[in-house]
């Protein structure tokens, strides 16, 4: 239980509703900032703003999966107002206050450091990334079906990257009957690909292997689908780029060649927000419980 914990949930999308629901079920006190247009009510949760919440009473702050942008703005689909985290407000929180965010940037890291808070990037955790790989793979299947005129069964699919997301994506397309090849430079990932029954090769070999590809799915956050690679691809090849912005594709040159290239980070929140929210809520509440136990131990 999270009894006696005061948590501010600031902004977000439909995924945050599962976070709020889970914290409320565990008896945490939740202050909602940036939710004035939310119709649903949650026991133990109240709509607030930065002026009505005493930051000195907070145990944790929960930001959206998207964190904040470089201007300090926090996205919320439940608010018509611009949400900016005031630095003086954050400075009034207790030293060591935990700030949980899906992703971060230099702005957020600097803000947290300057105010003696602690930052946890949830999407950098292996457990969150692996859980999220399932709705990501399902969303990728949906995009391929919507944007090609062939079946996945029998299609030639290249998956670049064989990490937490790439493994699930490659296995999903293989199970649907696609001919899947894997691109990875790391020897251990190539070994894992071999163990899973995939043909694999390095990024440097990609230009020699794309000419027969129907679909390329990229998970590597580096510009690997460059001019050299794109120039050797068939114009009707589809690229689904799952890497974080700006992706790993030269989108300008892809458009010039008539290749459809889609940047699709954050698919779990688009295709399965309830499931994605439950994943985040489960991991986050475990972290909050561990934080509470640590605080209790320090007070004994």
d(CA 138, CA 279): 15
Evaluate whether 45 touches 24 at the Cβ level (below 8 Å): yes
Six token digits for residue 69: 């942008």
d(CA 107, CA 127): 25
Q: What is the pLDDT of residue 44?
A: 81
* Domain 6-123+273-299 shares a fold with domain 127-265: yes
Q: At the topology level of CATH, where does 127-265 sit?
A: Rossmann fold (3.40.50)
Locate the domains of the chain by residue range.
Answer: 6-123+273-299, 127-265
Band (pLDDT 50/70/90 cuts) for residue 295 is confident
Give 200's strand partners: 182
Give CA 153 to chain center in angstroms: 28
Q: What is the pLDDT of residue 300?
A: 53
Band (pLDDT 50/70/90 cuts) for residue 245 is confident
Q: At the topology level of CATH, where does 6-123+273-299 sit?
A: Rossmann fold (3.40.50)
Q: What is the pLDDT of residue 32?
A: 96
CA-wise closest residue to 244 among 161, 138, 178, 148: 161
Instruction: State how far the alpha carbon of 194 is from the alpha carbons of 184, 188, 208, 231, 258, in Å.
Output: 11, 10, 20, 28, 33
d(CA 199, CA 208): 14
Band (pLDDT 50/70/90 cuts) for residue 42 is confident
Q: What is the pLDDT of residue 299?
A: 57
CA-wise closest residue to 10 among 70, 71, 111, 82: 82
Six token digits for residue 135: 């709705």
> Would you tell me the crossing angle of helices 164-175 and 126-147 to the nearest 10 degrees?
40
pTM assigned to the model:
0.86
Q: What is the pLDDT of residue 41?
A: 75
d(CA 183, CA 171): 14
Q: What is the mean pLDDT of the chain?
A: 93
52-70: average pLDDT: 93
Evaluate whether 7 touches 70 at the Cβ level (below 8 Å): no
Band (pLDDT 50/70/90 cuts) for residue 298 is low
């Amino acid at each position: 239980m999270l009894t006696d914990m005061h948590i501010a949930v600031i902004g977000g999308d439909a995924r945050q509703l599962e976070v709020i629901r889970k914290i409320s079920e565990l008896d945490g006190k939740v202050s909602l900032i940036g939710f004035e247009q939310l119709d649903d009510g949650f026991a133990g949760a109240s709509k607030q703003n930065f002026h009505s919440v005493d930051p000195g009473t907070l145990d944790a702050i929960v930001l959206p999966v998207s964190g904040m942008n470089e201007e300090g703005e926090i996205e919320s689909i439940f608010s018509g107002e611009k949400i900016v985290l005031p630095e003086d407000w954050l400075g009034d929180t207790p030293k060591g206050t935990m700030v949980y965010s899906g992703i971060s940037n230099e702005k957020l890291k600097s803000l947290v450091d300057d105010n003696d808070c602690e930052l946890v990037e949830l999407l950098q955790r292996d457990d969150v990334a692996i859980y999220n790989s399932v709705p990501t793979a399902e969303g990728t299947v949906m995009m391929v079906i919507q944007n090609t005129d062939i079946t996945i069964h029998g299609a030639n699919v290249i998956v670049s990257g064989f990490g937490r997301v790439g493994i699930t994506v490659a296995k999903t397309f293989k199970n649907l009957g696609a001919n899947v090849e894997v691109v990875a430079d790391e020897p251990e990932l190539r070994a894992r690909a071999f163990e899973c029954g995939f043909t694999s090769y390095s990024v440097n070999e990609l230009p020699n292997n794309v000419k027969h590809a129907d679909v390329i799915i990229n998970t590597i956050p580096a510009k690997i689908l460059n001019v050299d690679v794109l120039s050797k691809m068939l114009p009707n090849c589809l690229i689904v780029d799952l890497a974080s912005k700006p992706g790993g594709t030269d989108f300008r040159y892809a458009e010039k060649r008539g290749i459809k290239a889609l940047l699709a980070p954050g698919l779990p929140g688009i295709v399965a927000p309830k499931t994605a929210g439950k994943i985040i809520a489960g991991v986050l509440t475990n972290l909050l419980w561990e934080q509470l136990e640590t605080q209790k131990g320090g007070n004994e």
